[in-house]
Structure 1
């Protein structure tokens, strides 16, 4: 059999890779914008072609078989390298462009404010911002660099390496001056939980930055907040906080401008060290364009210039 005829059905590989990475056909359907039956059929076709089961179907979701685990690592690497090579080929040889992926909150509250300095230094470079909430959904070759919050003890997003932009970062309890004037400053964690409107993010990607985690880190007794405003968008909740609708947990480096300008103030003096770090993500095997290398050098050299004013 020739190497060509030994290849599996290639259009099934993305469905397999997404289902394996997310451990769920349902979540893979959302990422790939396909129906659940279409993803299931593609995986079944691949298993039939290989004459090997790749998944064990369990009540808690999908689990890779031993064969499936080996095949997943191979497929993921090949798709990543193919994406990176395709992105390189698509680039015009003399094109000075840079695509930066980031979340809506980071892009609107932090990155967009920083870019004016880079653009002034390098006016010949065109910048494209790619807004994707979860870095694990980045496709290989989709961007030159990414800027996201990353937990140092977690596995890097597929095909990416993470480098912290700041050496440390604090999480504070923040609100607008108008909210503080209207509702009063809480004198304790118990008062905060029982009397104030807490902004709650309904998003598995932000599960490590929760009110309960914050409370337990301080050694305080957790209780369900009496009043909340919840959404699956941190950006929406930050805008609601600025509009005086409640109190949020916020990264002081991310919100340095709002703190310096007095648009946000601390509702409590207590701060904790952030588990996550604002990080620069770089494709693992990617050497980078000249524009990407210039941006990396610029960003890391000015990381200490964006400290917030304490309030």
Structure 2
């Protein structure tokens, strides 16, 4: 019993230390958001002398940041929906349908995942330019409508579904779409939620690609908007307290999303399909 208690205390101590290191940047950001600019520049002042709640009020009511957050939420939600739909259909075809060149198709799809993202910027930019989709929300959405990572993640999950179950549904007269949405998707729900969460975070935080194709400030996403509005004065002219307050505000939607989906997210990472052997 004594050895078990010692092990438990050691585990708790290790987890506490790791948690503090992990949470420190977020704690520092919140504390900095409550400081004055002079206190932020003073490395010896960790806690604010007087919490400056006016920094949050200024960001929420006197800056365009809330509009950038709305833009990011809208684009992220639409992109996630499209990536889930396209990923599910492509994965279903590669796992449950038999056709010539099936393995070659999967190899080509996964081969594109090995390409550096920057290598796709120029051809994607040219395509959007020819379609007159530069500097538009539609361009941002269309250019991110398929996720190779999502296809890979869903494929790993779909392969755990018994093919006999799909064949039985086909014998009963079920169409491919009905089998996908009524049988496969519910059984692999955790993987879909994991994919959706990771896709949302990636799109929400994306900076480089939106910066290349959007020039109008009213169409900025949060990362571009935060930089252009709060850091346009240069390093010494930057209102760092407002930057920290804005950064904290940006993180709130992600924290709320993860709080409601963490159970399924962990199950999805573990490859749980909801089936018991």
Kindly indicate which of the two structures has a greater share of residues assigned to strand. Answer: 1
Kindly indicate which of the two structures has a greater share of residues assigned to helix. Answer: 2
Which bin holds the TM-score, normalised by the shorter protein? under 0.3
TM-score, normalised relative to structure 1: 0.21
TM-score, normalised relative to structure 2: 0.23
Which protein, 1 or 2, shows the higher relative CO under an 8 Å CA cutoff with sep ≥ 6?
A: 2
